[in-house]
Amino acid sequence: MDLVADEPHPAEVDRVEVLTAAAADQDGTAAEFSPWRAVVGFGVVSLAADMVYEGARSVTGPLLASLGASAVLVGLVTGAGEAAALVLRLVFGPLADRSGRYWTLTVAGYGLTAVCVPLLAVTPFLGGAGLTVACVLLLAERTGKAVRSPSKSALLAQAAAHVGMGRGLGVHKALDQVGAFAGPLIVAALIAVTGVIWPAMLALAVPGAGAVALLVWLRRRIPAPASDPALSGSTVTRPAAKPALRDVLRAGAGADLPRDFFRFAYSSAATTAGLVTFGVISFHLTTEKLLPLAAIPVVYAAGMAAAAVAALVTGFSYDRHGGRVLYVLPLLVTAVPALAFSSVATVAVVGVLVWGAGVGLQDSTVKALVADLVPGPRRATAYGVFAAIQGGAAVIGGGAAGYLYSRSIPLLVAVVALTQVAALVLLMLALRGRRTDD
């Protein structure tokens, strides 16, 4: 296995030796798969999957509005979807560490997304039940995100540790965002041609199938991390029996995770609560007639491009300057509602770009700091706990954003600004505690 010049932490060296031995026992190809190839492989899987769910998310607001949803319902559904994608990781993160079934959970989660999004194509033909079915499918798709994310993040962090955590996650996020950019453009083109949304949802079945097929191919070439020794009793051997959910939660609830990890988790929860969902933003752009329907996915794609650039810039900066690069995140979140809910189309589009930059930081550089705050064998659990804390904030923030948007946009801007002051203070405390420990 070729490693770059950056020296990994001693704990990671021990971990790599165990993983290499385990990989050699499985098959020769896994042991020869370099860290960068693993990072890029996961990046291409994310690229294809993002074409699917980001393509759908680019028109979630207009789709629900066409089925009869209000701004409050759009905010609640999109907020609850993000909460499901985050909170349920508290179950699936510890389950991955306890059972060692990282690949099984990853494949299952991607499969759920690949099925649910194309099924949105049938909702306009279901009459009064269409809105309910659409809400269920959107929540199920986000559940797939929860199933796969802790396991995928642990697999990815295992490779990224040897190429630079910030660089590895930044490159992965950039590839991820190529799909997030391409998917909405495909949706926009199909809406422009057909004048309706459902054919675009059906077309997203193609990249969904491609993502699952590529993931199955990668599974034979990339070894899974060893199970948590504290939970399984061995660094290599998995438990023979499937653990009960009660035991998983008791062993993996995260009580032994570092204090600075929780400070950072609460800081990120505040930024998540304040970062208005694109569902509400697209609802605003559509109902206020600032942009035509076919232009909404294009604007979303531009936001995803901004996310890719932000992920790369902050990812490389993180390896040089550490967690201090995240100080910019609360500032970005504060600016989003003031810009995105403008009555001027150009200003609103700038708000979407700022929103995208914030999303890019949350989905890449934030994860790099989590990985550095927590020992390797506990990363999937940490990602699960971290996401669960964010998820509680997401459902509150999504509902509040929808309600405040319908009442008073200036009040919404003020509330978001206050949450970001709290986020900044908690982030400063987490980073100061980390420097003290070092």
pTM of the model: 0.66
Please check the confidence at residue 34 and state whether its pLDDT lies above 80: no
* Residue 329: inside a domain: yes
Taking only the tens place, the pLDDT of each residue in 279-317 is 889 888 988 889 988 899 999 889 888 887 887 788 778
* Residue 241: inside a domain: no
Please check the confidence at residue 47 and state whether its pLDDT lies above 50: yes
* Residue 52: inside a domain: yes
Q: What pLDDT is stored for residue 256 in this prediction?
A: 67
Q: What pLDDT is stored for residue 399 in this prediction?
A: 80
The token pair that represents 416 in the structure block: 């978001």
pLDDT-derived band at 84, boundaries 50, 70, 90: confident
Q: What pLDDT is stored for residue 23 in this prediction?
A: 40
The tally of domains found in the chain comes to 1
* Residue 3: inside a domain: no
Backbone phi, psi, residue 123, to 5°: -65, -35
Q: Tokens 């300057």 map to which residue?
A: 321
The token pair that represents 6 in the structure block: 């950056």
Taking only the tens place, the pLDDT of each residue in 113-153 is 999 999 999 999 998 899 999 999 999 999 998 898 888 88
* Residue 394: inside a domain: yes
* Residue 237: inside a domain: no
Q: Which region among 70-84, 157-171, 314-328 has the lowest average model confidence (pLDDT)? A: 157-171
Q: What pLDDT is stored for residue 3 in this prediction?
A: 36
* Residue 235: inside a domain: no
Give me the domain span that covers residue 347: 10-227+252-437
The token pair that represents 401 in the structure block: 């954003």
- Give the CATH number for residue 348: 1.20.1250.20
- Centroid of chain to Cα 223: 22
For 262-279, b where at least 16 C-beta lie within 10 A, e where not — what string? bbbbbbbbbbbbbbbbbb
Please check the confidence at residue 17 and state whether its pLDDT lies above 60: no
